[in-house]
Amino acid sequence: MTDIVFMFEVHQPYRLDRNAYNKLLDKALRGSLEPSDLEEAIFDNGLNKLVMERASAKCYIPATSIILENIKRFKNTGKPFKVSYSISGVFIEQAQRWTPRVIELFQELAGTGMVEFVEQTYYHSMSAFMPIKDYAELREQVREHRQLMRELFGYEPVSIENTEFSYNNDIAWLFSTMGYRVVLTEGVDWVLGWRSPNYVYKAYGSDIRVLTRNYRLSDDIGYRFSDRSWDQYPLTADKYAAWLSATPGDVVFLAMDYETFGEHHWPETGIHEFLKWLPGEILKYSHLYTSTPGEVVEKYPPRDVIDVPPWSSISWADERDLSAWLGNHMQRNAFKMLVDLRPYVKALGDPELLRIWKLLTISDHLYYIATKFGSIEQVHSYFSPYKNAPDAYAIYVQALSLLAGMIAEKLPENRVKVAYNLEVPMDKAFYFYKPTGEYTGIHASSIRELIEALDRVPKESVLYHLRRGDIQSWLEHVYGLKDLVDEINEATTPTTPADEAIRSVRRILKSYFNK
């Protein structure tokens, strides 16, 4: 018996507008600017609407209708047809706004009980690779997506993929702690070695199960279906089903962009006819069944362990690594700018600015900045709405700069609140040492943590840093709180007894931040 697992990746980004500056200036002439004006200026919703409507007409509506028809056709037979979908939150936002029929069809699919919805990050982002403590942003975006699945489909996902199947041991461990049973990723040759992708595996360092995509069979549909130079052209439903029948293993995991069915391969290629007849051709074989990720990991035991260290993270794009998003200097610089803005957006607590920042985490913005060669470059160019990578970089940096400018305007208005909420990166955190130079093992990434640490750090360590002016210097140069530093210095002279000095600092901090 072999289970065929279909998973369709459904995502559309919010594309950026190269005329954002002009749109903002025009708005400013008519009155003061609000964060909502910034979002409207940064994103090209005219283009986003056009793409969404075109893709819905060519792909989302006809392909989903075909799948729904097949699910109903086989539902009451001994061999039902089942599929799974991974749908980004930003896709759903745009579909609700411009093509609500698409949402209605997905809800009909959910009602059949034959569809599994796979978790992912709401913003289809690279948040897993941000140097943020405890994967806080990744957790946030996954929880946002979970809430959306619950509200829209009444569904609680048990399977999860990180954006674009990017994966390593740490990500698998995190998803395991969040309660997911299976994580989906690419069947990368150097990871699998002699092993086949067609089995259930276990993640290294955690008990979560791993499904690895059979990229050769997936790409036969996703990339090669309409390639007339391919030696297997034309690909028909019966031929492909025969290949699946002859494939050894417990599970054949097939995953592809949903746009494969009508957008990447136009309806004129016969892709919709192929999709229409494929389920019936597969289910003709007595040993072939269709299942979902959550079902097969309960059905089959793991055959081995998948080990992907964080420094060798994989994905399903390009060279099966992270170079599609973080492979050149422009991409890494833009990503650093994005990450550097997060603490200030979070500290401000402005939901509209936070939303803009999260929209700028969409992985496609970085994907467009890739500099590749040959066939891989052609794929990037196909998806990009910009002329080239430097053009995409300039437009993305423009958007980040506009957001940074709005943040800078609002920081002075909320100086004390921002300072208290601001969590700085580890390289700017305060580390407590003993007078002997030994690290205490305690650090503070925020003023909140500093206040809490004063109750845990050995007294001699606190006094050591106060006498040297280390705490004062951190408060002044990291947070700009010169007036607070002056107050601390007045209350903690070199002759002030240790207990009194520590009590004074704790009291001054709590009073200053009204805590």
> Cα-Cα-Cα-Cα dihedral of 431, 433, 438, 442, to 10°?
-50
Segment holding 252, helix H or strand E: strand 251-257
β-sheet bridge partners, residue 125? 362
- Tens digit of each residue's pLDDT, the chain (515 residues): 999 999 999 999 999 999 998 888 887 777 767 778 899 999 999 999 999 999 999 999 999 999 999 999 999 899 999 999 999 999 999 999 999 999 999 999 999 999 999 999 999 999 999 998 889 999 999 999 999 999 999 999 999 999 999 999 999 999 999 999 999 999 999 999 999 999 999 999 999 999 999 999 999 999 999 999 999 999 999 999 999 999 999 999 999 999 999 999 999 999 999 999 999 999 999 999 999 999 999 999 999 999 999 999 999 999 999 999 999 999 999 999 999 999 999 999 999 999 999 999 999 999 999 999 898 888 888 889 998 999 999 999 999 999 999 999 898 888 899 999 999 988 899 999 999 999 999 999 999 999 999 989 999 999 999 999 999 999 999 999 999 999 999 888 878 888 888 889 989 999 999 87
Q: pLDDT value at position 365?
A: 98
DSSP helix/strand/coil, 367: helix
β-sheet bridge partners, residue 87? 10
Which contacts (CB < 8 Å, 24+ apart) does range 340-343 have?
A: 341/400, 341/403, 341/404, 341/407, 342/130, 342/132, 342/137, 343/422, 343/423, 343/424, 343/425
Pairing of strands 200-203, 305-306: parallel
Q: pLDDT value at position 413?
A: 86
449 catalytic residue (yes or no): no
| CATH number belonging to domain 2-325 | 3.20.110.20
Helices (H) and strands (E) in the chain, counts: 25, 12
Give the C-alpha separation, 96 to 89, whole Å.
11
Q: pLDDT value at position 16?
A: 97
**CA R_g for the chain:** 27
Structural contact between residues 10 and 87, judged by C-beta atoms closer than 8 angstroms: yes
∠ CA 160-142-310, rounded to 5°: 70
Cα four-point dihedral sign 408, 336, 11, 133? negative
Structural contact between residues 191 and 165, judged by C-beta atoms closer than 8 angstroms: no
**Would you tell me how many other CB atoms lie within 10 Å of the CB of residue 308?**
22
Residue type, 475: L
DSSP helix/strand/coil, 235: coil
Give the C-alpha separation, 232 to 219, whole Å.
13
Token pair 């200030």 in the structure block, residue:
344
Query: For residue 58, what is the DSSP state?
Result: I
Q: Give 429-497 as a DSSP string.
A: SEEEE-TTS-EEEEEESSHHHHHHHTTTS-HHHHHHHHHHTHHHHHHHHTT--HHHHHHHHHH--TTS-
Structural contact between residues 252 and 288, judged by C-beta atoms closer than 8 angstroms: no
- Residue among 491, 483, 197 nearest 184 (CA): 197
Looking at 9, 116, 119, 164, which residue is catalytic? Answer: 164
Structure-token pair, residue 423 = 């969590």
Structure-token pair, residue 468 = 């040297």
Which contacts (CB < 8 Å, 24+ apart) does range 31-36 have?
A: 33/406, 34/352, 35/350, 35/352, 35/353, 35/356, 35/406, 36/352
Structure-token pair, residue 19 = 């005329």
Measured CA to CA in angstroms, residue 41 lies from 338, 375, 401 at distances of: 18, 34, 13
